[in-house]
Copies of this chain bind each other. A is one copy, B any other.
Amino acid sequence: MGENESLIKSRYLDVLIEIARQGLNEEVKLSTSRLAASIGISQQSASRIMKEMEETGLVSRKVFIDGQVVKLEKKGIDLLQERYSELNKIFSKKKLKITGELVSGLGEGRYYIGLKGYKKQFKDKLNFIPYSGTLNLRVDSKTGRELQAMSEFILIEGFRTKKRSFGGLKCAKAKIEHKNNQIVAAVIKPFRTVHGDDILEVIAPYCIREKLRLKDGSRIRMTI
């Protein structure tokens, strides 16, 4: 029944790159033995793979008695571009440097963070179990908005108990900088909150306020 086997073998990517090096939008001469040598397989395998890639529509070929020319097809170029943008996302993550001033909260953070419905998600998604309490930081509102504009948030889902429902929140892993050390933490942004953009709620595996002997007005630096 010839199922639509559209899974692309990882190996194909090596070949696509090898072709692309020589030309992205043109026919290039690439013999099976040269390809074989450059990606470290046998000439026979190179031959088979190029045939497969042609069948899959990644490349088109013109095979002659004394060689072949090959050209990347849209599907092949798309695959390369997808990989490129994945890697781009990984390596060009721009770090946000934030400086803020410690302020008093209302103390309700302590209550919410402790709830099981959130706690398990924090553990799974942030990779630490937060201390039951939040650190409230005042930042200038430009920085606050920049943070809001960030795309890469981790989502913590809301949940409901018999008595009431609790809203979701998004958060971003952060590192608090302190005497050349970095302390793992996270900024949380509840979807429903009383705070404006200029107040950040920060959680961490333990009580930062005590650990770093901070008091209201202390300045804290963080990277996100």
Contacts and interface: CB of A to CB of B under 8 A. Distances in A.
A206 B83 CA distance: 39
Interface in A86-127: 86-91, 93, 124, 127
Nearest to A22: B127
Given A27-B127, A29-B127, A127-B69, A90 B13 contact: no
Chain A interface residue number, banded: 20 to 34
Contacts of A83: 83, 87
B127 A28 contact: yes
A29 B88 CA distance: 22
A91 B84 contact: yes
A90 B20 contact: yes
A169 interface: no
A119 to B, nearest CB: 16
14 contacts: A9-B10, A10-B11, A10-B13, A13-B13, A17-B87, A21-B86, A24-B90, A26-B127, A28-B127, A69-B127, A80-B87, A83-B83, A84-B84, A84-B88
Interface of A: 7, 9-11, 13-14, 17, 20-21, 23-24, 26-29, 40, 69, 80-81, 83-84, 86-91, 93, 124, 127, 173, 184
